[in-house]
């Protein structure tokens, strides 16, 4: 028996404000569906963040509906949970529920097991760190059911695991998870990985996102897992998707000509126009010369962003701030926010994430602390 494990499709994302990038998101997603159909998988698991926002566009909703319809037409069932991007604090009913109500797919994010032939499937929507205590009993209950089930048991989660990803603000310990599942179908993290924990009954696997959604994703492969459960052990097999190339590069001004030639050579090997970030580093950089050289690259890319950094420029100050600057930033933050606690949060916790372009992590951090902020304001 074979199933597909797909996660973090982020349907509707229009990266860099480009319509072409939104289409890329749909194309990669549909590749995963096409391959799953071609390979005759028995079912498909979607491990959260189906959409990029809780209020997706009509186009994004239709893309998912059409994919589920194609799976059904090929007698392939599907199961899904919700990630933080799917859950709205304003909307009572998340959009993906529609697919469950229309029997296009089965929602399993409430912890109640469903069964596909002899496979037990259970899942939980995104759990925030401060919410883990109420889930302890639910984890024990579903673990007992898994222990009693003779076939494969799959647990679907949209979480980071603290032992592997301690900096994630919503991570939970692997020791908190139910122990008796043979495969842990994970979502949330955008890089692929397969992890083994002694106390867990099977691999804990992240397929990563199906497309590049952040700048620090550049030059990383994207895809999903096809998992073979025809034997006692679950065996995930990585399936690479054909995605638009993205890369960033730093160029020494004195090597500008050779570097531009190397970039053009690299671009010539791509089937799709790439997205490129270029940083030119040097002293006494002549902007007009740089613009002339960069103009050779721009027509061959979907997007080409570039900037100049003087060798002794202070623009990298946020990455390695002296203590004096930290103090000044803190004073400015206190003055703006009228709260030392909020200022400390902004400078010590939020700023490092924003300065390293970890926008999703920063957003999640704000959400995690939102209720506490409101109480502090009263």
Note the Cα 268 to chain centre separation in Å: 29
Neighbouring-strand partners of residue 122: 155
pLDDT score at 89 = 66
Does position 280 have pLDDT exceeding 80, yes or no?
A: yes
Contact partners, residue 146, CB within 8 Å, separation at least 6: 113, 120, 122, 153, 155, 178, 180, 181, 201
Question: Mean pLDDT across the stretch 165-193?
Answer: 90
Q: What is the pLDDT of residues 227-268, one digit of tens each?
A: 999 999 999 999 999 999 999 999 999 999 999 999 999 999
pLDDT score at 315 = 47
Q: For residues 354 and 362, give the distance between their C-alpha atoms in angstroms, rounded to a whole number.
A: 6
Q: 114: closest CA among 102, 103, 127?
A: 103
User: For the ranges 157-166, 174-183, 327-336, which has the lowest average pLDDT?
Assistant: 327-336
| Cβ proximity of 123 and 81 under 8 Å | yes
Name which residue leads in pLDDT, 312 or 366.
366
The SS3 call for residue 223 is: strand
Name which residue leads in pLDDT, 366 or 293.
293
| Cβ proximity of 313 and 304 under 8 Å | no
Contact partners, residue 202, CB within 8 Å, separation at least 6: 181, 182, 183, 184, 233, 234
Q: How confident is the model at residue 164 (pLDDT cuts 50, 70, 90)?
A: confident
* Structural element, H or E, at residue 327: helix 323-337
DSSP characters over 128-160: -GGGHHHHHHHHHHHHHHHHH--S-EEEEEE--
- Give the single-character DSSP code of 300: G
Question: Mean pLDDT across the stretch 268-295?
Answer: 92
Does position 319 have pLDDT exceeding 50, yes or no?
A: no
* Structural element, H or E, at residue 185: strand 183-187
pLDDT score at 364 = 61
| Cβ proximity of 309 and 279 under 8 Å | yes
Query: Highest mean pLDDT range out of 94-103, 112-121, 133-142, 285-294?
Result: 112-121
pLDDT score at 348 = 65
Q: 119: closest CA among 149, 141, 147, 99?
A: 149
- Give the single-character DSSP code of 345: I
38: its two tokens: 């071609």
277: its two tokens: 């970030």
Question: Mean pLDDT across the stretch 343-350?
Answer: 70
Q: For residues 42 and 36, give the distance between their C-alpha atoms in angstroms, rounded to a whole number.
A: 9
Does position 3 have pLDDT exceeding 80, yes or no?
A: yes
Q: How confident is the model at residue 171 (pLDDT cuts 50, 70, 90)?
A: confident
Does position 15 have pLDDT exceeding 70, yes or no?
A: yes
pLDDT score at 368 = 57
Percentage of the chain modeled with pLDDT above 70: 84
Q: How confident is the model at residue 289 (pLDDT cuts 50, 70, 90)?
A: very high
pLDDT score at 317 = 40
Q: What is the pLDDT of residues 323-343, one digit of tens each?
A: 444 566 667 777 777 777 777
pLDDT score at 183 = 98
- Give the single-character DSSP code of 325: H
The SS3 call for residue 234 is: coil
Q: What is the pLDDT of residues 70-95, one digit of tens each?
A: 999 999 999 999 998 988 766 567 88
Q: For residues 257 and 262, give the distance between their C-alpha atoms in angstroms, rounded to a whole number.
A: 9
Q: How confident is the model at residue 179 (pLDDT cuts 50, 70, 90)?
A: very high
DSSP characters over 52-100: SSSS--HHHHHHHHHHHHHHHHTT-EEEEE--TTT--SS-SS-TTHHHH
| Cβ proximity of 184 and 177 under 8 Å | yes
Q: How confident is the model at residue 316 (pLDDT cuts 50, 70, 90)?
A: very low
- Mean of the per-residue pLDDT values of the chain: 86
12: its two tokens: 């509707």
| pTM, 2 dp | 0.81
Question: Mean pLDDT across the stretch 152-181?
Answer: 90
């Amino acid at each position: 028996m074979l199933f597909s494990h797909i996660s973090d499709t982020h349907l509707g994302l229009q990266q860099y404000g480009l319509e072409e990038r939104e289409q890329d998101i749909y194309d990669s997603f549909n590749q995963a569906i096409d391959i799953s159909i071609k390979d005759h998988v028995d079912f498909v698991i979607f491990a959260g963040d189906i959409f990029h926002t809780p209020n997706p566009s009509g186009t994004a909703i239709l893309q998912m509906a059409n994919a589920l319809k194609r799976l059904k037409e090929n007698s392939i069932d599907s199961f899904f949970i919700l990630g933080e991007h799917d859950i709205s604090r304003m909307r009572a009913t998340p959009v993906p529920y529609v697919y469950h109500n229309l029997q296009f797919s089965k929602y399993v994010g409430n912890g109640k097991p469903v069964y596909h032939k002899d496979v037990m499937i259970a899942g939980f929507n995104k759990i925030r760190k401060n919410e883990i205590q109420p889930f302890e009993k639910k984890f024990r209950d579903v673990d007992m059911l898994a222990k009693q089930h003779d076939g494969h048991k799959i647990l679907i989660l949209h979480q980071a695991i603290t032992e592997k990803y301690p900096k994630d603000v919503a991570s939970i310990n692997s020791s908190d998870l139910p122990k008796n599942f043979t495969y842990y179908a994970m979502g949330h993290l955008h890089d692929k990985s397969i992890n083994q924990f002694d106390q867990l009954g099977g691999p804990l696997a992240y397929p990563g996102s199906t497309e590049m959604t952040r700048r620090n994703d550049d030059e990383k492969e994207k895809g999903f897992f096809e998992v073979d459960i025809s034997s006692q052990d679950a065996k995930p097999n990585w399936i690479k998707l054909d995605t638009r190339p993205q890369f960033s590069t730093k160029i020494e001004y004195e090597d500008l000509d050779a570097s531009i030639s190397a970039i053009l050579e690299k671009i010539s090997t791509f089937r799709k126009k790439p997205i490129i970030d270029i940083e030119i580093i040097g002293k006494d950089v002549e902007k007009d010369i740089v613009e002339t050289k960069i103009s050779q690259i721009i027509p061959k890319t979907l997007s080409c962003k570039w900037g100049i950094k003087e060798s002794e420029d202070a623009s990298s100050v946020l990455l390695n701030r002296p203590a004096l600057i930290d103090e000044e930033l803190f004073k400015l933050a206190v003055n703006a926010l009228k709260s030392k606690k909020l200022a400390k949060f902004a400078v010590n916790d939020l700023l490092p994430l924003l300065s390293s372009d970890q926008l999703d992590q920063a957003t999640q951090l704000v959400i995690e602390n939102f209720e506490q902020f409101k109480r502090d304001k009263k």
